[in-house]
Amino acid sequence: MVHRAPFFLTAFLGAIFFCYFLMGYTLIPAGDIAEYFGITQSLSTHASIALTNKDVQTLSTILHKEYFTNPGYYIAGVDGNKYPVHFIAYSFLLLPLRFMLERWSFSPLLTFPLTNLLILFFTILFCMRQFLHSTTKQFLFLILILFSPILSFISWPGPDLLVMCLLLLALCYVFTSHYSIAGTLIAFASWHSQPLVPLSVILTSIPLVQTIYTHHSLAHFSWKKIRSIFFVLVLIAIPYIYNIAVFGVLTPWTIFQDNWTIQNGFGIQNIHPQKLFEQFFDPNIGIFWYMPIGTLIGIGYICWKGYTKKMYWIIGIVTIMTACFFQTNPAWHYGTSGYGPTRHILFIIPLFITVGMQWFFSLRRNTILFYTLIIVYIGIQSIPLTWNGWLAPHFENTLSHSPVATFILTHYPLWYSPTPELFVDRTNHTDLDHLTTAIYTVNGVCKKAYIANGNIQPVLTQCGYLDTNATLVIRKHPFGNTYSTYNK
């Protein structure tokens, strides 16, 4: 049931946002736009996903032609034609609006924010109707979404917002004990976010596990539940079937020859506790700095509710497990919408929104406290949204240190020694596939440097010396990697 006030407010805001993107926004190409947009070009002109020379000629008038010579986007398939590396489902969703925009002489690149916007507001209204049966809950839901990092991904030319919306829908079904539906939705999300695969299988398997656990035997074995699991496994397999048919391998990432893949490979060997900490609290990419109150409420509420409902602790454990699966990627820092958060932790935003709504709703009887906390939430959450551009984040900021990281590096550089890829890319304002020496300075004064492959000369030239720890490392390993910190 959708109550009139939140329904009309949601529809009104959606219409305003739509007009803003249609009339006052210019999308700057970023991320994997070459593929997701390129697929729409191929589909609309020759009903195929193969990239032809004619496609490249047309696309090069809209996107930079170097996109289509970059080996990280389109690669040769088993038939010799070039095909997109990323899965194609999201691009099918883009097609209707692209046709309409071109018919009305608007920039076809606006397909991305407008499609993402429709996905987001459809999700909000659907959740209001199906799961949130009070005006208070519906308003809370709207506030928590529109003052979250989700807002920054409306304009991102990729499927990240689609994945978050599918997760949001799935969580609503989880909290109403419809686990098979939740698992199916996450299976769709896994098409564009493979680390979600285990989560989809776990959720779909819960009804069968509950039946066996409750009756302590296989006598109540349910073929219906088995069919649900099988259906989800088929859904999960679709991108891999696509990859085998097109490229001859389960995943084309394994055949890439960029340095990150060669050095690290894809797999559990890339999982590390420091990365888990960074997903949550790194001042550049950690979710906490982009959703501070929501993160504290989310973690606190899950831990607190776990004492009475063990399901919440299970949710917490599975969440950590999923975060670790996102670390299997060999590259740790690559394009996101503005300063952050990292796309490796976006999946947790819907969880923080849903449990945050439960927590706020539990306080509704204390009117003063309830409204005070809502105002505090909006005020604090507005800070990261402000420096991340609200609806229009500057995508190039992903190659600059965030305001929080800048403050720490300027005043307390010893406190911040992240995974080197983060520091190097944001200090050098580049996105290379290998580490290089990087020096962070303030008004010409060295604050922190990262020495890559023993290349100390730039650091000595600009900073004059290495700190004690860096000196010991380089003496022991002349071609080693280390940080050097300066407290000037």
Task: Tokens for 199, please give them.
Answer: 């989560």
**What pTM was computed for the model?**
0.95
| Residue 201 token pair | 């299988």
Phi-psi sector, 464: left (phi>0), alpha (psi -120 to 50), beta: left
Which has the closest alpha carbon to 481: 431, 429, 427, 438?
438
pLDDT per residue as tens digits for the range 336-365: 889 989 999 999 999 999 999 999 999 999
User: Residue 56 corresponds to which amino acid?
Assistant: V
Model confidence band, residue 460 (pLDDT cutoffs 50, 70, 90): very high
Nearest-angstrom CA–CA distance, 181 and 185: 6
Q: What is the largest CA-CA distance in the chain?
A: 76
Q: For residue 157, give the 3-state DSSP assignment.
A: coil
pLDDT of residue 2: 63
Residue whose C-alpha is closest to residue 155's, from 109, 207, 89, 203? 109
- Could you tell me the two tokens for 477? 């390993």
> How much of the chain exceeds pLDDT 90, in percent?
83
Q: How do residues 39-87 score in pLDDT, each as one tens digit? A: 999 999 999 999 999 999 999 999 988 888 877 789 999 999 999 999 9
What's the full length of the chain, in residues? 488
Give dist(CA 405, CA 52) in Å, integer: 44
Q: Which two tokens stand for residue 211?
A: 């039946």
Per-residue pLDDT at 413: 97
Please tell me which residue, 267 or 448, carries the higher pLDDT value: 448
How does pLDDT run across 261-301, given as a tens digit for each residue?
A: 878 888 889 999 999 999 999 999 999 999 999 999 999 99
> For 166-217, how does the pLDDT look when each residue is reduced to its tens digit (9 = 90+)?
999 999 999 999 999 999 999 999 999 999 999 999 999 988 877 776 665 5
Q: Report the alpha-carbon angle 192-351-418, nearest 5.
A: 75
Q: What is the pLDDT of residue 463?
A: 95
Share of residues in the chain with pLDDT > 70 (%): 97
CA 67 to chain centre: 22
pLDDT greater than 60 at residue 220: no
Q: What integer is the mean pLDDT of 207-235?
A: 76
Q: Decide: 25 and 330 in contact? Cβ < 8 Å.
A: no
> In this predicted structure, what is the pLDDT of residue 1?
60
Contacting residues for 373 by C-beta, under 8 A, at least 6 apart: 360, 363
Name the least confident of 24-38, 114-128, 198-212, 355-369. Answer: 198-212
Average pLDDT, the chain: 93
Which DSSP string do the residues of 229-285 spell out, in sequence order? HHHHHHHHHHHHHHHHHHHSSS-GGGG--SHHHHHH-SSGGG--HHHHHHHHH-TTT
Is the confidence at residue 335, as pLDDT, over 80? no
Phi first, then psi, for residue 306 (nearest 5°) are -60, -25
Count of CB atoms within 10 A of residue 9's CB? Answer: 13
Note the pLDDT of residue 483: 97
Q: How confident is the model at residue 310 (pLDDT cuts 50, 70, 90)?
A: confident
Q: With contact defined as beta carbons under 8 Å apart, do 394 and 400 qualify?
A: no
